[in-house]
Amino acid sequence: MAIGILLVGGMGTRLKPLTNQTPKPMLPVGGLPVTERQLLAAKKAGINSVILATSYLSEVFTPYFGDGSKWGMKLLYAVEKEPLGTGGAIRNAADLIDFADATEEFVIFNGDVLSGHDIAAQIAFHKANKADATLHLIEVADARAFGCVPTDSTGRVLDFLEKMENPVTNAINAGCYVFNPSVISQIPEGKVVSIERETFPQLVKSARPVFGYNEQSYWLDIGTPAALFQGSRDIVGEGFIAGSGSVIGQNSVITGGTSIGQGSTIGANCKITNSIIGDGVSIGDNCSIADSFILHNSHLASASEIIGKYISPTENLPISL
Ligand code: GTP
């Protein structure tokens, strides 16, 4: 059975201030952290053992996920004192186990992607091609903002190209890879390495079999505030969702794909739209909230007007969606 590695150690600078106290993969979309959604997807594909490659705010993950038994999974945590980049993080995580002797594949997930693709089919495609590495590719309408990945008619990757004005293909790296252990052995230990800019181009240059698994499915990189809110709305739909133990006061109207976590209290006569509200939040009566992110355990006084804001128990900062 394949072993999963989740890359969850980045600084999430484009999402600031939302990532001031929460690592990007732990931000909730549709009421669940992105990481939890990815673990559920991995499990569905038969991956029960996962290593979380952490660095920035690493201490946030263990209290939430523990040993993984709540999800019927086995979780291990690798911690980088200084972020090692995507490649260095994979090597550091695999070093937690005797990976060089492993016979099974590793499946690597960028920790900031919501994807509905068929991971089990990606693994099967990898095996059928006797590939060393197989990336999920997704076609986007405008690939100019991304590096693109041309393949031949069998799916074999021909090149990894940097961002360009006239991309040769609309297929881009969707951030989920199947690797044989031999690919991980070639990443140097304890060094900062980029899997996208160093490892993949080197593999192709040395004619190793690297394949692209092309599947058009729901796919979103939640790397900016606008994308994170989009992802949450996509899951919630037009109205709103609220977690267990949350209470909503009389005449309050909640719309625009808002999600409310567990054990939160919303007062009477509030208007809330297009917002993400965490667990244990308390909001007074007559509040108006739009396009805002209210972190766990925050408190808002009655008649607060919060538009385009990030609120935590200690901060009140603007965000633009
Ligand atoms: P930005 O700073 O906004 O670019 O975000 P980021 O730091 O998360 O970088 P990026 O979006 O390129 O990262 C893609 C995925 O890899 C994310 O899930 C990150 O958490 C993860 N990641 C990036 N760099 C590292 C690293 O050095 N170590 C680990 N463990 N994960 C990383």
pLDDT at 163: 84
Expressed in angstroms and rounded, the spacing between residue 10 Cα and the centre of ligand 1 is 3
- Type of residue found at 284: G
pLDDT at 83: 95
Cis upstream peptide for 209 (omega within 30°): no
* pLDDT tens track for 225-278: 999 999 999 999 999 999 999 999 999 999 999 999 999 999 999 999 999 999
- Does ligand 1 lie within 6 Å of residue 83's CB atom? yes
pLDDT at 145: 87
Expressed in angstroms and rounded, the spacing between residue 200 Cα and the centre of ligand 1 is 17
The conformational region for residue 234 under phi > 0 = left, psi -120 to 50 = alpha, else beta, is alpha
- Say if residues 213 and 134 touch (Cβ distance below 8 Å): yes
pLDDT at 159: 94
- The pLDDT > 70 percentage for the chain reads 100
* pLDDT tens track for 99-113: 877 889 999 999 999
Contacts 24+ apart (CB under 8 A), 273-282: 274/229, 274/233, 274/321, 276/27, 276/28, 276/29, 276/228, 276/229, 276/232, 278/28, 279/243
* Residue 7: both structure tokens together: 């890359």
pLDDT at 101: 79
Using the atom order of ligand 1, give the atom closest to the CA of residue 15. 3
Q: Which residues of the chain, if any, have pLDDT below 70?
A: none
- Type of residue found at 35: T
- The pTM assigned to this predicted structure is 0.95
- Does ligand 1 lie within 6 Å of residue 13's CB atom? yes
Distances 105 to 1, 10, 94 between C-alpha atoms, Å: 8, 24, 11
Q: Which domains does the chain have, with CATH numbers?
A: 3-221 (3.90.550.10), 237-318 (2.160.10.10)
- Does ligand 1 lie within 6 Å of residue 52's CB atom? no
Expressed in angstroms and rounded, the spacing between residue 192 Cα and the centre of ligand 1 is 12
Mutate to test the pocket of ligand 1, among 90, 112, 197, 224 (most ligand atoms within 8 A of CB): 112
Expressed in angstroms and rounded, the spacing between residue 84 Cα and the centre of ligand 1 is 10
Expressed in angstroms and rounded, the spacing between residue 282 Cα and the centre of ligand 1 is 32
Strand partners, 166: none
